[in-house]
A and B are shown apart, each in its own frame.
Chain A
Amino acid sequence: MAEVLLRVDGLSVRYGAVSAVEEVGFGVDGGEVVGLVGANGAGKSSTLLAITGVVRPQAGDVRLGGESIVGWSTERIARAGIALVPEGRHVFSSFTVEENLRLGLLGRADPAGAEDDLAWVRELFPVVAERADEFAGHLSGGQQQMLVIARALLSRPRVLLLDEPSLGLAPSVVETVFSALEQVRERGVAILLVEQRAHVAVAFADRTHVMRSGRLVMTLDRGHRIDVDEMAEAYFG
């Protein structure tokens, strides 16, 4: 059996005495979207940070295309094909929009096709072309979020990790972002989507894992009708 693109096994993260993630395991294959939902502090972001090498897991394994990447630096993991869109609007604010995009090209393993990919992200998010010469810090929150996603895509990732991409965005912007992500998925990229809002994830992801106190407690299929009591139970125990 061929191994899935991103495989997380028995992953545990501790901050000192506090356990943030406990023995979490799941997989995401190319062209697949997997959601990760849960309340604040459930361990979703810590899971992403452990996958990308920002924090070092206490135990467990993360494999990309069958190769263990635990202990690699964040930069190396980025170059290996895992792009992280962190929570918040992580643009380089005193750089122009265009310069932000160009910095995204640094993470590419293969420089060929850079111009095609630039054209593609400009099509996905026309605003990054329209405001190319403006400082990224002057964009609205939604535009910054689109810029960060565009920048992440320019590293030509095999796996795209998104941490709360819809947080604080207007509904129309959320729609633009998710229709762009749909096209990303069609290109065969594996997407791991962390959300607090379960209905956003469930509507988009092939399956959605619910996290509580650092553990996966439930898995929901795409389009699962969310029952309030059931979710309250899953989120808060």
Chain B
Amino acid sequence: MRRRLAVWHLLGPSLLVVAVAAVGTTTSPTIQFQVRSVLVTAAIVVSLYVFVGNSGVISFGHVSFVAVGAFAAGIASAPAEVKPSTFPKMLPFLANLEIGNVESLLLAALVGAIYAFWVGIPLMRLSGLSAGIATFAVLIITHNVIRNWEAIGPGAKTLALVPPTTGFLQATVGLLIVMAIAYGYQRSRWGRRLRATREDPLAAQASGIEVHRERLIAFTLSGALAGFAGGLFVHLLGSITTEQVFLDLTFVTLAMLVVGGIGSMWGALIGALFIAGLNAFLVELEKGVVLGARELDLPSGTRLLTLGVIMFVVLVTRPEGLTGGRELSWPIRRRRRV
């Protein structure tokens, strides 16, 4: 029973993802883009969940790893013919580099992991509010380095001509990989130890669990997944600026995690699909949609206002998030979460 339930915890959400992608392929091209972007956003939120959900420590810095992954994959895979002329100050090694799609995604994950590990060594000693502020500082530092150090990034310019390889297949498979790794970690002995420190830090330490070490493992893994999701993101957009992986994305992805339910992967996924889906829907409504005989054209600003109101209502009525921080329960026989 428990084994079947454990399989379901991953299989159920995966089926939902495949269903969303399958429905997405039948829609118009603009909606298709929105659905793919929902899937990539979900990958970012699940990567954030790996650290925040399991450790209970808030991180405002995860979009740094998304940014690092996005620029690593984008710069490494953009055509070598145009880079030296567009970015004259870029290191020749980077300007002349051109690697394939999959390689660029793996590079994004690797760079995200290394960067997260490196900043995690001092950061993981902190807890609570100071951890939140310090991770936020990492976000600001990262943003400014990428934006101003033209030897390694596009500077204030747009990085364009990145191969747009994140179609439905890549978005779906990418998200499923992130979910499988997130779930595997959560079930592993490292995941359990970290969740124990989240529930009761004193009891965990008294049981011999090394809080710093367990947090650093999760932070590094989470950084790798965020970097990978950043790679998916840059290949979805085809062009990117540093502003697209900064404050807005940070707050939106954290809001998704909190709305969905911070304590479970199911919550991370539901929050992302719900908010990103709603957002995409409202974007289209603001542009104007013909519904039967009438044309519905909402004034601009409706989207953010509606999102804000819905998030407010969800959090007031369900402070634990839409899923209550639980994994998906077996649909036939109801059972408490494991």
Please provide the chain B residues from 288 to 338 with a CB less than 8 Å away from any CB of chain A in the complex. Answer: 336-338
- Tell me which residues from 173 to 196 in chain A have a Cβ below 8 Å from any Cβ of chain B: none
What are the interface flags for A42-82 relative to B under an 8 Å C-beta threshold, 1 for contact and 0 otherwise? 00000000001010000000000000000001110011000
Interchain CA distance A107-B204 in the complex, whole Å: 10
Main secondary structure of the interface of B (DSSP, over half): helix
Chain A residue numbers with a CB within 8 Å of B337 are: 94
Question: What's the nearest-Cβ distance from chain A to residue B152, in Å?
Answer: 37
Report which of B196, B200, B208, B336 forms a contact with A75, defined as CB distance below 8 A: B208
- Collect the chain A residues with CB atoms within 8 Å of residue B207's CB: 78, 103-104, 106-107, 151-152, 155
Which residues of B are found within 8 Å of A84, using beta-carbon distances? 206
The verdict on A86 contacting B208 (CB below 8 Å), with A92-B196, A99-B192 known, is no
A90 within 8 A of B: yes
A103 touches B206 (CB 8 A): no
Nearest Cβ distance between residue B320 and chain A, in whole angstroms? Answer: 12
Residues in chain B near residue A73, CB distance under 8 A: 205, 210
B209 in the interface (beta carbon within 8 A): yes
Nearest A residue to B203 via CB reads A90
B192 and A74: CB pair below 8 A? no
Bound-state Cα–Cα, A137 to B199, Å: 11
Is residue A93 contacting chain B, with contact meaning CB distance below 8 A? yes
Complex CA distance for A135 and B205, rounded to whole angstroms: 21
A228 to B193, CA, bound (A): 47
B202 at the interface (CB under 8 A from A): yes
Verify A92–B203 contact, CB threshold 8 A.
yes
In the complex, number of A-B residue pairs with CB atoms less than 8 Å apart: 67
CB of B206 within 8 A of CB of A92, answer: no
Q: CB of A95 within 8 A of chain B?
A: yes
Q: Which residues of A sit under 8 angstroms from B202, Cβ to Cβ?
A: 54, 86, 90
Q: Which residues of B contact A104 (CB under 8 A)?
A: 207
The answer to whether A78 and B208 have CB atoms under 8 Å apart is yes
User: Cβ of B211 < 8 Å from any Cβ of A?
Assistant: yes
Within the complex, what minimum Cβ distance (angstroms) separates A116 from chain B? Answer: 19
Which residues of the other chain, A, contact B195 by a CB distance below 8 angstroms?
A: 92, 94-95
Do the beta carbons of B203 and A78 come within 8 Å of each other? no
Residue numbers in A under 8 Å from B193 (CB-CB): 103, 106
Shortest Cβ-Cβ A-B pairs, 3 listed: A107-B208, A90-B203, A74-B205
Q: List residues of chain B with CB under 8 Å of any chain A CB.
A: 192-193, 195-196, 199-200, 202-211, 336-338
25 A–B pairs (Cβ distance < 8 Å), ordered by A: A54-B205, A73-B205, A73-B210, A75-B205, A78-B205, A78-B208, A86-B202, A86-B206, A90-B200, A90-B202, A90-B203, A92-B195, A92-B199, A92-B204, A95-B196, A99-B192, A103-B204, A103-B209, A106-B208, A107-B206, A107-B208, A108-B208, A151-B207, A152-B206, A155-B207
A54-B202, A86-B202, A91-B203 given; 13 more Cβ-contact pairs under 8 Å: A75-B208, A78-B206, A84-B206, A85-B206, A86-B203, A86-B206, A92-B196, A93-B199, A94-B195, A103-B207, A106-B209, A107-B206, A135-B336
